[in-house]
A and B are shown apart, each in its own frame.
Chain A
Amino acid sequence: VSAAYLVVAATTVVAATLASGYFRRFQPMRPPIGVMNLRDVVIMLGAIVALPYVYLTLPLWVVAVLFSGAILGALYFVWEPVLESRARIWTACLLLLGADLVLALTRGTTDGGFLLVNNLLLVTVVVGVTNLWAQSGMKARDVAVLAVGLAVFDVIATSRLTVMTDLVTRLSGMPLLPVVTWRASGGARGLAIGLGDLLLASLFPLVLRKSFGRRAGSVALVVSVCVIATMLAVIDLRLVRTPIPAMVVLGPLMALQYGYWRARRGSERTTLEYLRAEPLPSGTSSEVAPV
């Protein structure tokens, strides 16, 4: 296998593992009222379908500004419970974001230094966003619905339409590249996995852990990582020469896992029930009201 494979696969493992570790150690500030629910998933799916067209239409600098805002928010969420001091949080956020922007503008988006920083940035975003969603009470059922919806969208957008290919091509010269990628120096081929795929792969283990327990979460983590690693290997070994829509494989597997655990364990646990059954390690602040 290539170095690109090793870097992208390792980044996937790191992102999913860090998200799970963060889930048991830190609590990002969730919205004080409201729970992530099926309506949010439907709205999210609508946005996922519409946004590629928006990004293809808007000037690149506007897209960069929008990405910057969203990423800055995600970075703040992830660092807030870790660093606590506002000065330290903003320093960490701006350093990472600034490094990505400066490297992209000075060395280009194919430079190894830029890709390293960009991958690091995306891993941080994945940890923050997945934890924000999972710790906002998102249900495994809703993630399964989202995954299946994305699988359908992926088939259409990647296989039937050119929208995703056009989008990746357009954004490839932009900082804050929304794909984890690596390209060996001098090598013509690179490997990449989209931010959305990485988000879902890292999110599902968290909600399964919350809803059905440690074993369900661990199995989901292994399945997600192995599936992505296998798909990357298939491409890296040139067994397939076209992009593979990752959610087409991940989506149905997530739905199957949800169905299995639902049948086996019954209804999903709420966050309150999860934290009662598996209290966070001492020293971790818990926002769950005492009973």
Chain B
Amino acid sequence: MLETAVASLRFGASMTLGVRFNLRSLERLVGAMLETTREFGGIGSEGAELLAGPGLDDDTRREMQLRRFRSQALRAMRTTSYYGNLFAQAGLDPAELSHEGIATIPLTPKEALRGDPDAFVNRTVRPSLRATTTGTTGWPTSVQFSRYEMRALVALASIAVILRRQVEADDLVQIGISSRAILGVTGVMGACANIGAAVYLAGLLDPEHTLALLTERRSIPGKRERVSVMSTYPSYLGEIVETGLRLGYGPKDFGLRRLLVGGELLTQGLRARCQRLFGPVELVSNYGMTELAPFGGNVCSQEHLHFDPSGGLVEVLDLETRRPAGHGQAGSIVATPFFPYRETTLLLRYDTEDVIRTVAGPLTCEMRNLPATSNILGKRRLSVRHDGGWTFLRDVVEALEGVEAVPLPARFGLWATSDGVGVEVLARSDAPEVGDAIHSRLEQEGVPVRELRVVTDRAALRQPIPLRGDLRDGSLAHAGGRGGSNGSSPPRPHAAVLASGGAS
């Protein structure tokens, strides 16, 4: 307990003063949280408050973030070629920046990082891991991380998971994200290893195979009988739900109690259909990206996206003027991850292209001490500007996934028309009543549909929005149709059903 008190103080000092995490203390804190959970059944609200730090008023938060931004900007100017050149050309001195002056620093676009990732690497730090994005929206972007960052990332992920009781020691955890998403995989695996949960990296397999894994009964001492937690993308989850319902699976076939989803938009329609397949399962979503990790956001029960101000600076810039968005307006997230969370690939004012809406306080949710925006509305480059304003992916996908005739995940395209948008969507039927239902639902969500094209063949979509669920990891078991490399077949509790479903 005394060591824990010291570790808590060190953690608090890093959070509030921006000094380097002491990794031993951080890991000690994780151990203490596990001991506390084991002894008392969980961490109380006081523990959560202790780790989150005190809620800051706006002025204090601005002051703290300005100090941290200046410090990170100085580090970036002195140690990276990209920001060394940028500050020299702009004639800016990071040490003199005011809060308003931050806006004078040019945004860092994705293309700059993608084009020359090494120009952002701190030359005083030894990188040990090159992580790449999955490349769903283009050529993968690579980001370097040091050993310190990776250990901190795992410890911080563990703290978050333990605090929210997302994974417990008796859980069987299946990771259903791309095996190339090394940061997400490392974070979940590391947290599971710390907690003592059994974890398995399944990757993105054919949905039938994933369903077989989810329904497989195991007899690991001290663990649940079937997979109890799965981490995945919403679109892949949609595919599993769709396939599972089609193949006749139901809640009794699964032992899932929690789904951790991120990387895409989680809709109410998906939530509802998920319950039909898995029963009363909890869906937890968050916001994170390789470029900013471990800085990210958490979604509260009121669907706000909350950011820890000690982890980085979040600016919300108007989609057209690129000036700070006003209350209730849409804008894209421009983020600067701070030290001590980020020391290798330094990014200042990184334009994530993720669109949100600002929210006016006072907040009443359980995370009200943290600044918040709306939940993610979609990527800016995939949003559509028309005479009536903007239509975002969330408006469309919430509507489509709320229509039973649209299979999950909603596959659709979106384009601008003169005074609204055109939508093409894959549906189970192109009957007129299906089109009417979709049209009506889109209008309910405020989508000004001027053209609607309903297709029943996925290949007929002209410009479908890319989905992470379409990424695939190879599976030897399905490659040749003759079982795995050792000649054995994958577990098939529903072999007859699977045979009729086939492998795609």
Contacts and interface: CB of A to CB of B under 8 A. Distances in A.
Interface stretch (A27-35, A63-71, A170-178, A193-201): A27-35
B47 interface: yes
A37 B36 CA distance: 11
B32 A35 contact: yes
B1 to A, nearest CB: 4
A33 B40 contact: no
Contacts of A37: 1, 35
Interface stretch (A17-25, A72-80, A115-123, A283-291): A283-291
B4 A31 contact: yes
Given A137-B35, A270-B38, A33 B43 contact: yes
B115 to A, nearest CB: 44
Interface string B1-27: 111110010000000000000000000
A282 B46 CA distance: 23
Contacts of A34: 1, 3-5, 8, 32, 35-36
B39 interface: yes
B414 interface: no
B42 A289 contact: yes
Interface string A268-291: 001110000000000000011111
18 contacts: A29-B46, A31-B4, A31-B5, A32-B49, A32-B50, A33-B32, A33-B50, A34-B36, A35-B36, A35-B39, A37-B1, A37-B35, A137-B39, A137-B40, A270-B40, A272-B39, A272-B41, A287-B44
A278 to B, nearest CB: 15
Contact of A33 (B2, B36, B38, B41): B36
B45 to A, nearest CB: 8
B33 interface: yes
Interface in A28-50: 29, 31-37, 39-40, 43
Contacts, number: 69
A136 interface: yes
Interface residues of A, number: 21
A43 B4 CA distance: 13
B29 interface: yes
B43 A32 contact: yes
Contacts of B2: 39-40, 43
A43 B33 CA distance: 20
A143 B33 CA distance: 22
Given A37-B1, A40-B1, A43-B2, A32 B39 contact: no
Q: Is the interface of B mostly helix, strand, loop or mixed?
A: helix
Residue from B3, B5, B39, B46 with most neighbouring chain A CB atoms (10 Å): B39
A34 B8 CA distance: 10
B35 A35 contact: yes
B480 to A, nearest CB: 46
Interface residues of B, number: 24
Contacts of B36: 32-35, 137
A15 B43 CA distance: 31
Contacts of B32: 33-35
Contacts of B38: 270, 272
Interface in A88-106: none
Nearest to A138: B1
B4 A287 contact: no
B50 A289 contact: no
Contacts of B50: 32-33
Interface string A222-248: 000000000000000000000000000
Nearest to B35: A35
Given A35-B39, A137-B40, 12 more contacts: A31-B5, A32-B50, A33-B36, A34-B35, A34-B36, A35-B35, A36-B1, A136-B1, A271-B40, A272-B41, A287-B44, A291-B41
Nearest to A44: B2
Contacts of A290: 41
B30 to A, nearest CB: 10
A70 B483 CA distance: 69
Contacts of A31: 1, 4-5
A289 B44 contact: yes
Contacts of A289: 40-42, 44, 165
Contacts of B165: 289
Given A39-B3, A40-B2, A33 B39 contact: no
